[in-house]
Amino acid sequence: MKKLILLSACFLFCVVSLSHAEQVPGFQTEPYLQNLTHGSAAIMWHSEKPAYGWIEYGKTDMFGEKADMVVDGLRNANVTLHKIRLTELEPGSIYYYRACFKPITKFMPYNVVFDDVVYSKTYTFKTIPTDSHQISCAIFNDLHNNYAMFDSLCAALEGMDYQFSIFNGDCFSDPQSEKDVIEALNIFNDGVSAYSQPPIFIRGNHETRGAFARNLKKSFDFPGDEFYFAITAGPVRFIFLDCGEDKTDDHKEYSGLTDFTGYRERQQKWLKAEVKSNAFRDAKYRILVHHIPLYNHNNRGISKFSRALWASVLDEAPIDIAINGHTHRYGFIPVNADGNNYAALIGGGSKNGTVMLLSASDEKLTIEVLNTSGEIVDRYVKLENEEFKVVH
């Protein structure tokens, strides 16, 4: 087995812990981070009973600050899904926090009865420094609720430092209920230590199916509250897109309940603005992340619908690489292999899974692909003004 060498942690505290966490009674999920920035962070959790929840946090384990969620003048209460956004945080600083809630046993006008307060364990996270020049992240795809495979991929990461993780679609497979989502969240969040290292969950085509698909977004927090968005992490500008389904909107499988054509058109308009933004232009590297590839050898498993709308925008932009899944076949698509102006890397599937370790500094961008045995399948390196090359 080749030895992995990754960049040291630059904007979060703690490495991945593979031991399954014991939840405090009353919590359906441990608290998990979302949408971490230089000066803010969202913290989410599910309680077993409807409750009023808040976060206690501060620079020490004595906390000293409190935050809750207020909507239209009302403190969010009588809910089991809690999302609290901490703001006005200092960049590059470590914060201690715990999630708290009071179960509500009776909710009547002028008469609300609470049970005893429930406290989570104390956790830490670190906000993103403003001068960060290096990052590393882990990228999963097409887990399809194969938790044994996910555990193997997490074991392959043991001892590796990475600051956040990306779940690139078809990980929550055909969610039928909130119970299904909570079960997957507990396993995925535990595997990547989501209480300290924020996971980014984006949709594949299977997240759009199932009775609970329309409620899935509530369990996450995205910039702009959209499944498509862009973030800057160190020298990298990440662009996340949502290809939607893999068949036409009028396909019988969707029962007339989809309009991904209009959704992709809306993303095209947003994408045109993004590639003209200073954040995109000023980045050292620009990486696309979306589930269904736009390019592949022999056009296998691609989203021709997304490609028809987005290719003209992306092919004129200085994209370094696209990270994809969907085909369940690991593969690398070099520049011009399928009419593409940038490379594409496709992760494996639910039976032959892979995890990618992406590391970026001002000097180079590296992507290492690992299998469930912890072996490095391939290593790709990009130096300035060069294309991605396989390094053995």
pLDDT tens digits, residue range 248-291? 999 999 999 999 999 999 999 999 999 999 999 999 999 999 99
pLDDT band for position 108 (cuts 50, 70, 90): very high
Bridge-based pairing state of the strands 65-67 and 164-168: unpaired
Q: Are 204 and 291 in contact (CB under 8 A)?
A: yes
pLDDT tens digits, residue range 321-347? 999 999 999 999 999 998 899 999 999
**Domain coordinates of the chain in residue numbers?**
37-126, 135-390
pLDDT band for position 8 (cuts 50, 70, 90): very low
pLDDT tens digits, residue range 344-387? 999 999 889 999 999 999 999 999 999 999 999 999 999 988 88
Number of helical (H) and strand (E) elements in the chain, helices listed first? 5, 23
CATH code of the domain made up of 135-390: 3.60.21.10
> Options 2.40.128, 2.60.98, 2.30.29, 2.60.40; which CATH number does 37-126 get?
2.60.40
Res 3 pLDDT > 70 = no
Can you give the pLDDT at residue 21? 57
> Which three-class secondary structure string do you get for 144-209?
CCCHHHHHHHHHHCCCCCCCEEEEECCCCCCCCCHHHHHHHHHHHHHHCCCCCCCEEEECCCHHHC
Tokens for 313, please give them. 């925008």
Distance CA 328, CA 46 (A): 32
pLDDT tens digits, residue range 212-248? 999 999 999 999 999 999 999 999 999 999 999 999 9
Average pLDDT, the chain: 93
Can you give the pLDDT at residue 154? 97
Res 307 pLDDT > 90 = yes
Of 155, 119, 124, residue with least CA distance to 138: 155
Distance CA 331, CA 346 (A): 5
Distance CA 16, CA 277 (A): 34
Can you give the pLDDT at residue 162? 95
Model pTM score: 0.93
Distance CA 94, CA 115 (A): 32
